[in-house]
Each structure stands twice: as structure tokens, then as C-alpha cells.
Amino acid sequence: MRAARYYANSDIRIEEIPEPTVGAGEVGVEVAWCGICGTDLHEYKDGPIFCPRPDIPHPISGEAAPITLGHEMSGVVYAVGDGVDDITVGQHVVVEPYIIADDVDTSSDDYHLSKDMNFIGLAGRGGGLGEKLAVKRRWVHPIADSIPLDQAALIEPLAVGYHAFQRSGAAAGDFALVGGVGPIGLLLSAVLKAEGLTVAVSDMSGLRREKALGAGADHAFDPREIDVAQAVRDLTGGRGADVAFECTSVQPAMDTLVDALAPRGVLVVVSIWGQRGSFDMQQVVLKELDVRGTIAYVNSHPATIKLVEDGKVNLAPFITGKIGLEGLIDEGFDTLIHRNETAVKILVSPSGAGLGG
């Protein structure tokens, strides 16, 4: 079968590799669609970060580079291993792509923070940019046939937004400010709207602001044109935002969120920062703010899938491209790196079947 294999920085190859063996307790998934994630781009441009080097196998997967890429996948079950009796061939599924040590209690609420945690499609165990993969039953989530498989590939990044919402402790009626509406900020905004919050976004890109408004955001601000924190206070009777979400890893954008928060407000840091971030500590202390990190998802998939099944989040508008494996670098990565205002999510059909070819 064909797969996109990460060898090293700037070295991803489309190769023929053996099909996986579906072992006991595993589910064989034929990938329908796999999204390209910002993390994949980082591995390509600046990596390896999550990916193992060729000489240092990942401590849990035991695999070293090259590994198959892709962790935002939907697919169809083509085989079930011994002992798997609650899922059937033909079922539509998405994968919660965790690589987690065997001794971790995956019914806990913090399994995603366990030692050496990593991701299928970044540190081994196959990936969504290959035609098939074998996944432990625990990480396979069936979805209703009513969700188109292309949209289903966006459930993984939507779960990132859902978990950020969970971390915020926000509830219906709260006022949220989202700083930066790249793919995660957009999907997060859609979750917040679905959960009944008022949503304002701030982004320098007019195209991204338009997309956010199209996805249901109530307000979209250009931070170069207006004082965003003051605009939020004006909209909240002088109080400020209840919650804010940092999706830029840019210092001035984070400062704006801190300034916009009400007393006891919560700032959730969603983006992965390559540098240190600083805070006006007087505001943190005198407003008793709460700055919370969030990473990936934990027990988030069932609720996230339900949002989509119930029609509360429409994922169709976020799909801005569909390609085959052969176009991964030239059409996929290059578009996302160089035209990241118009492109949101580009989906890959590893077998090409989804492209009607």
C-alpha cells in the first residue's frame, strides 16, 4: 500500500509499504480522508519535534524514522482483531490517535498527559496518510453514517477545540474572545457557538475574519484597526470577556487577550509556542486571572462527534481542498504554508478513491 513517510526535516517520501497486521484487540481501518495539520507542517519545516529521529526509537511505539504521517483521519473498518466484538467491518470510524504506554489508565481524565505520550501518525503505529492502519480498539470511535467521511476527518481538530472549551470551564451565555482564527481557532469558534457562547474573534487577516463570521462568530475584529480589549469591554457592559483562547503563539495577541479578560477571567493557551511567552503579572494578580494550558483531547471524542451528528457544527465550510497522496507536498503543504489565509483544511485521500479517480 502507499503511504507518506517522514524521514526528516524537508524529507517526506511517498512509498510503497506492507499493509499492517491487525492484531488482537485491534481494528483495521481503511483510511477515507486525512487532514493535513499544522503539526505536520512544523515537522516538515522545523522538525523532527514529535517525530522520532532515525537513531532514537520512540519509547512506547519502539519506532524510529521513517514513520507514516497523518493523524486527522476518518475511515471504514475492514478487519477486526481477536477479542474485538463491539465494532464491525464496514462501520465508519474516526481515530483518536494516541500512543500511550500500556500501564496508563485510559479511563482516567488525564491519560493524554502521561509520560512519553505521542500520536499515531507522528511517532509510529501507522498514520492517516497511508491507505490502512491497525489501531487499538480504545482509540477507534464509531460515527453515524450520516456524517460524510470527508467532514469526519475534521473531527480530530474539532476535538482539540472541544477540549480547549472543556478546559476553559465556560458555559452557555459566556462571552468568549478567540485570538487567531487559523484552522484550530475557527473550529474552536464553531464549538463555542454550538455551546451557546457569544464569540468574538481577533485576527489580522480579513479572509480569516470572514470565515469566522461565516462559521458563526458574532464579532470579528482587526487588532490593527481597533482596540480589541476596549471593544470587548464595550460589548460586555465594561466587564470584559469571561474566557479567551490564545491560538496564535504571538506575544501582542496574547497581551490583548489578557487585557480583554474580566476579573476571574480564564485564558486558555491552545497554541504551541516555540518561544517563551510573557504576561503583565499585575493583571494576572489584580484581576485574579487563570491561565490554562490545553493539549489535544481527553475523553473529548464522544461529545465532539455528537456535536457533528446533531448538526450543531457544520464542518463542510472548513474543507478547502482535496488531493491525493502524490500532491501532498506540492499541493498540500505548499498551499498551507504559502496561502494560509484562504486555505483552512486540505484533505488527502491516500488511496485516491475519494477523488473519484
Q: Annotate each residue in 239-268 with x if it binds a copy of itself (CB under 8 A) or - if it does not, as one string.
A: ----------x-------------xx----
Listed in sequence order, the residues at least 6 apart from 318 whose beta carbon sits closer than 8 Å to its beta carbon are 154, 183, 186, 187, 215, 344, 345
107 near a copy of itself, judged by CB under 8 A: no
Is residue 289 involved in binding a copy of itself (CB under 8 A)? Answer: yes
Mapped onto helix, strand or coil, the DSSP state of residue 155 is helix
Identify which of 96, 98, 133, 156 has the alpha carbon closest to the alpha carbon of residue 4: 133
59 in contact with a copy of itself (CB under 8 A)? no
Q: What whole-number distance in Å separates Cα of residue 217 and Cα of residue 226?
A: 18
Taking contact as CB under 8 A, which single stretch among the options 195-203, 216-224, 285-293, 348-356 is the one that binds a copy of itself?
Answer: 285-293
Residue 171 lies near a copy of itself (rule: CB under 8 A): no
Contact residue for a copy of itself among 81, 142, 148, 293 (CB under 8 A): 293
**Which position has the grid cell 485521500?**
349
Tell me the C-alpha distance between 37 and 25, whole Å.
28
Q: Which stretch binds a copy of itself (CB under 8 A): 5-13, 223-231, 293-301, 313-321?
A: 293-301
First to last CA, the chain: 17
Q: How far is the CB of 238 from a copy of itself (least distance, A)?
A: 8
Between residue 128 and residue 157, which ones bind a copy of itself under the rule CB under 8 A?
A: none
The secondary structure of 95-111 as a DSSP string is: E--EE--TTS-TTSS-G
> For a copy of itself, how many residues bind (rule: CB under 8 A)?
33
Give the shortest CB-106-to-a copy of itself separation in angstroms: 15
Assess 272 for contact with a copy of itself (CB under 8 A): yes
Q: Which of 113, 144, 171, 337 binds a copy of itself (CB under 8 A)?
A: 113
Taking the least distance from each CB to a copy of itself, the nearer of 32 and 289 is: 289
Q: Spell 282-291 as b/e; 16+ CB within 10 A means b.
A: ebeeebebeb
Q: 114: part of which helix (H) or strand (E)? A: none
CB-nearer residue toward a copy of itself: 171 or 355: 171
For residues 195 and 219, the answer to whether their CB atoms sit within 8 Å is no
CB of 179 to a copy of itself, least distance (A): 14
Contacts with a copy of itself, residue ranges (CB under 8 A): 110, 113-114, 167, 249, 263-264, 269-273, 275-295
